[in-house]
A and B are shown apart, each in its own frame.
Chain A
Amino acid sequence: MTDKSKSKQAVTKVDRRKFMAGVAVAGAAVVSTEAKSAILPPGAPAPAAPSAMRPSTVMAQAEVATASVSAPAYPGTQNGKPGSDYMVDVLKTLDIEYIVTNPASSCRGIHESIVNYGGNRMPELLTTMHEESGTAMAHGYFKVALKPMGSLCHGTVGLQHAAMAVYNAWCDRAPILMMIGNEMDANVRRPGVPTTHAAQDPAAMIRDFTKWDDQPGSLQHFSESMVRAYRISMTPPYEPVLIVMGEELQEGVPEPGHFENFSIPKVALPTPPQGESNAVRETAAMLVAAENPVFVVDRVARTPAGLALMVELAELLQATVVDQGGRMNFPNMHHLAARGAAAIRRADVVVGMELTDFWGTVNDFSDTAHAQQGPIVREGTRMVSIGTGDVYIRANYQDFQRYQPVDIAIAADAEATLPSLIEAVRMLLDGAARTRIDNRGQAARDAYNTARSRVAADAAASAWNASPISGARLSFELWELIKNEDWALVSRDQSISNWPHRVWTFDKYYQWIGGPGGAGIGYGLPAAVGAALAHRPHGRLVVNIQNDGDCMYAPGALWTAAHHKIPLLNVMHNNRAYHQEVMHLQRMASWRQRGLSDGSWRVATTIENPNVDYAKLAESMGVAGIGPIENPNDLAPALRRAIDIVKAGEPALVDVITQPR
């Protein structure tokens, strides 16, 4: 951050060493004229002395004649810890491994404390090249580590950069501890840029998509608010929170002895709400009586326990599960796993758990000129929702989706409700029900065995040798190389027609982390780096199938991976376009009957001419770059080379020129 007021610092610096706002000053006396002159620019008129002016540390030192008023007097820490050291004490109680930051003057106090006072361990600072990337890293990290990362940003402009990533995390129910610096007191704030970067209420900009924020007025207040913020963000629904740290609070040095009563509250995370027992029993009865019960799940598995419980419930009922993939909710190769709407069309009971979009799940909406829409479920299908969406909702941003009426709405955390639902189902299973369920299970097993792999193999075989390389070929080549490793995929696979989910066997919680939540582009690469960081201590082989458009939002995340030695295999899905927008433009041109023959839909949607060389891009930032790979027969050797590098503890990137989808 440039700071054009630096030249003025010599004049104003001493004044910044005053006690922080909100700390009562005991025994403050009227300052001597000599001490006062030390803080005034030459020739400036002396202000009228207030009746009880707070002395700065320098003033105090001047008073006891330990420092010359003519030489700059840096207080050091001999008079006690600076405020930001206390902040680090608080952070150290919260089991925060990492704080990601792009360095900023408004955070210089806490930055210095984390490094020199905290020893840069628990938390350790990670360098990001953009606050949006840093925050997306924290997002990806959480979904593997299951504990939050801090994202330390410059006030105002840093937070503005971070905002989209905060929105993604909000939609995806991922906690992030956002922290920014800010200085409200114009009298101590450096003029120029630092003042431009200050705000009365910097949190306002992201308040619609954070669960809580505060701007503490004292260190004790910080201590309580930071712990509270952690607790709120880690209570389902998990969400980002923000703490604004006054620069004075960070940089001020409390008087010795003043903080004997400083305390850090214990964090006791609240237990999430479980479904009300009558509603759970009624749902169980509906499920047991159903011919074709279907579970639709999006973020039901907050933890690995949720995955295990979902399998238990589905098997108990031999009921189909449609996993919308916000998390690793259900093993994709399980005989009860279904993709697409067909299972929902057949259902007589649909139980939606932690769904983002229940309406879109049971209705069809065609992107046509007339927005054709309507239910896909059969007449009379009963519906139940279980989720924290009914516990907590905000206005403005429409991520709560369209309103869907249901027969039973259980306002509760679904994972926490699963044990009681399983128990309630078990109590109702009599002999007749068991027979019906066994038959249903057998039918599902038969259908699974005969159909699934043949369909996938046939589909993959066409365009097997095509260049650009097909998503199927890419996925099979990759699978062959990782299937005997402890692997994890940290990117979505929608952009390559879900081929990994059609081919790979996902059965461990950490093998899949869902997507950005808010569909904000620029999430993919940094979130993958963050997730890979969380995988690192486990020694897993982490794969990121990286969309080219997304990569160019935040390529600096590659540097972060190289700098912090985060092993990650990046495989470019390089279709040289913002391909979704290509299709949207074509649709518009088709509806309007123009511009199709001359490819007008390529204007401002493709990333060609010149083509981006992603291998060189990676190399320039210290990441091994391989490619571009255009011939499918070159793919396996390139991937093998890259995997060797990743296994040695470094990131690598293979640029693959791919079919559009």
Chain B
Amino acid sequence: MRSIRLLAGAAAILVPILIAGSAFAADAAAGEEAFVRFGCYTCHGYEGQGAGTGPKLAPEPLAFDAFSTFVRQTSGDMPPFTPATLSDEELQNIHAYLESIPATPDPASIPLLQQLQ
């Protein structure tokens, strides 16, 4: 169904990280899939770059605890995603995906953006 791919190098990298309190390896590729399937991209953009509809999430996402607390408990402009709809494992994978997104290039290295320096 999804006809959209990421060009940037984020796809299909397995990022094994240990999350406090859980001992399984978060899977960035599965996280990317979940980021789309749960529709995080619709407000935050496919690379979590942020948009008028939701802030930037990546690179360098919030630490997992804060990230998880926000996603689970927000009662503001973002609708919450509780464990009933999004499992801890899936949320960890999403976090791993966001962590795997490479650092934003320096705008000075992009010719069209140099005019703003």
Contact call B85/A456, Cβ cutoff below 8 A = no
Give A residues with C-beta under 8 Å from B. Answer: 366-368, 370, 372, 453-454, 456-468, 470-471, 476-477, 480, 494, 497-498, 503, 576, 579, 582-583, 586-587, 589-591, 593-594, 596-599, 601-602, 608-609, 611, 631-632, 657, 659-661
| B residues at A contact (CB < 8 Å) | 1, 3-8, 37-39, 41-43, 45-47, 49-53, 56, 58-59, 75-77, 79-82, 84-86, 90, 104-107, 110, 112-113, 116-117
15 pairs across A/B with beta carbons < 8 Å?
A366-B77, A367-B77, A370-B75, A372-B76, A457-B107, A461-B105, A462-B59, A463-B45, A465-B7, A466-B6, A497-B51, A576-B3, A660-B46, A661-B45, A661-B52
B-chain residues with CB within 8 Å of residue A601 when the two chains form the complex? 39
Tell me whether B8 and A465 are in contact (CB under 8 A).
Answer: yes
Contact of B79 among A456, A466, A498, A587 (CB under 8 A): A587
A453-B116, A458-B104, A586-B39 known; A659-B51 Cβ under 8 A: yes
Inter-chain contacts of A503 with B (CB < 8 A): 116
Enumerate chain A residues within 8 angstroms of B75, measured Cβ to Cβ.
368, 370
B1 contacts across to A, CB distance below 8 A: 602, 608-609
Q: How far is the CB of A274 from chain B (nearest CB, A)?
A: 37
Task: Give the docked Cα–Cα distance between A631 and B56 (Å).
Answer: 22
Given the complex of chains A and B, what is the CA–CA distance between A546 and B71 in angstroms?
33
Bound complex: CA A589 to CA B5 (Å): 25
One of A463, A494, A583, A596 near B81 (C-beta < 8 A): A596
> For B84, what are the chain A residues with a Cβ–Cβ distance below 8 Å?
593
Distance of B48 from chain A, by nearest CB (Å): 8
Say whether A461 contacts B46, CB under 8 Å.
no
Question: Which residues of chain A have C-beta atoms less than 8 A from B38's C-beta?
Answer: 596-597
CA distance in complex: A643, B15 (Å): 44
Shortest Cβ-Cβ A-B pairs, 7 listed: A590-B79, A463-B49, A497-B52, A457-B107, A661-B51, A453-B116, A457-B116
Given contacts A366-B77, A631-B7, A661-B51, contact A596 B86 (CB under 8 A): yes
List, in ascending order, chain B residues with CB within 8 A of A462's CB. 47, 49-50, 56, 58-59, 104
Cβ contacts under 8 Å, A460 to chain B: 107, 113, 116
Decide if A466 touches B8 in the complex (CB within 8 Å).
yes
Tell me the bound Cα distance from A497 to B50 in angstroms. Answer: 9
Specify which of B50, B52, B86, B106 is in contact with A498 (CB 8 Å cutoff). Answer: B52
Which one of B46, B77, B86 lies within 8 Å of A463 (CB-CB)?
Answer: B46
A586 vs B45: C-alpha distance when bound (angstroms): 15
Please judge, given known A-B contacts A465-B7, A582-B42, A601-B39, whether A459 and B56 are in contact too, CB under 8 Å.
Answer: yes
Q: A454: which B residues are within 8 A, CB to CB?
A: 116-117
CB-CB under 8 A from A366, the residues of chain B are 76-77
Q: Name which residue of chain A comes closest to B56, CB basis.
A: A462
CB distance from A49 to the nearest CB of B (A): 74
**Sample of 14 further A-B pairs with CB below 8 A, known A457-B113, A590-B85, A599-B37:** A460-B113, A461-B106, A463-B49, A464-B110, A466-B49, A467-B6, A468-B46, A476-B112, A582-B39, A590-B80, A596-B86, A598-B37, A661-B45, A661-B52
CB distance from B19 to the nearest CB of A (A): 20
Flag if B50 contacts A459 (CB, 8 Å).
yes
CA distance in complex: A222, B4 (Å): 57
The distance in angstroms between the C-alpha atoms of A467 and B49, with both chains bound, is 12
Chain A residues positioned under 8 Å from B117 (CB to CB): 453-454, 457
Q: B79 to A591, Cβ gap below 8 A?
A: yes
B67 → A minimal CB distance (Å): 17
From residue A302, how far is it (CB to closest CB) to chain B in Å?
A: 28
Interface residue from B6, B37, B56, B110 paired with A597 (Cβ < 8 Å):
B37
Bound-state CA distance A460–B80 (Å) is: 27
Distance A589 CA – B84 CA, assembled complex (angstroms): 12
Q: What is the bound-complex CA distance between A466 and B6, given in angstroms? A: 6
Complex CA gap A367/B8 in Å reads 33
A596 to B46, CA, bound (A): 17
Q: Complex formed: what's the CA distance from A611 to B3 in Å? A: 9
Assuming the contacts A466-B8, A608-B3, asked whether A661 and B105 have C-beta atoms less than 8 A apart, the reply is: no
Contact between A659 and B107, CB atoms less than 8 A apart: no
Residue of B nearest to A606 (CB): B1
Contact A466 to B47, CB < 8 A, known contacts A608-B1, A609-B1: yes
B40 to chain A, nearest CB (A): 9
User: Chain B residues with Cβ under 8 A from A611's Cβ?
Assistant: 3
Interface centre among B6, B50, B85 (most CB of A within 10 A): B85
Closest B residue to A661 by CB, please name it: B51
Residues of B within 8 A of A459 (CB): 49-50, 56
- If A461-B110, A470-B49, A476-B113 touch, does A661 touch B43 (CB 8 Å cutoff)? yes
Find out whether the CB atom of A583 lies under 8 angstroms from the CB atom of B53: yes
Task: Write out the residue numbers on chain A whose beta carbons fall within 8 Å of the beta carbon of B106.
Answer: 461
Shortest B76–chain A CB gap in Å is 6
Contact B105–A464 (Cβ < 8 Å): yes
Known: A457-B117, A462-B50, A476-B112. A660 touches B81 (CB 8 A): no
Known: A368-B75, A461-B105. A467 touches B7 (CB 8 A): yes
Contacts of A458 in B (CB 8 A): 104, 107
- CA A477 to CA B75, docked complex, whole Å: 38
In the bound complex, CA of A456 to CA of B110 (Å) = 13
Q: A497 CB to closest chain B CB, in angstroms? A: 4
Which residue on chain B has the smallest CB distance to residue A605? B42
- Shortest A242–chain B CB gap in Å is 37
Please give the distance in Å from A656's CB to the nearest CB on chain B: 13
Contact status B42-A583, CB under 8 Å:
yes
- With a cutoff of 8 Å between Cβ atoms, the chain A residues found around residue B79 in the complex are 586-587, 590-591
Cα(A461)–Cα(B110), bound, Å: 8
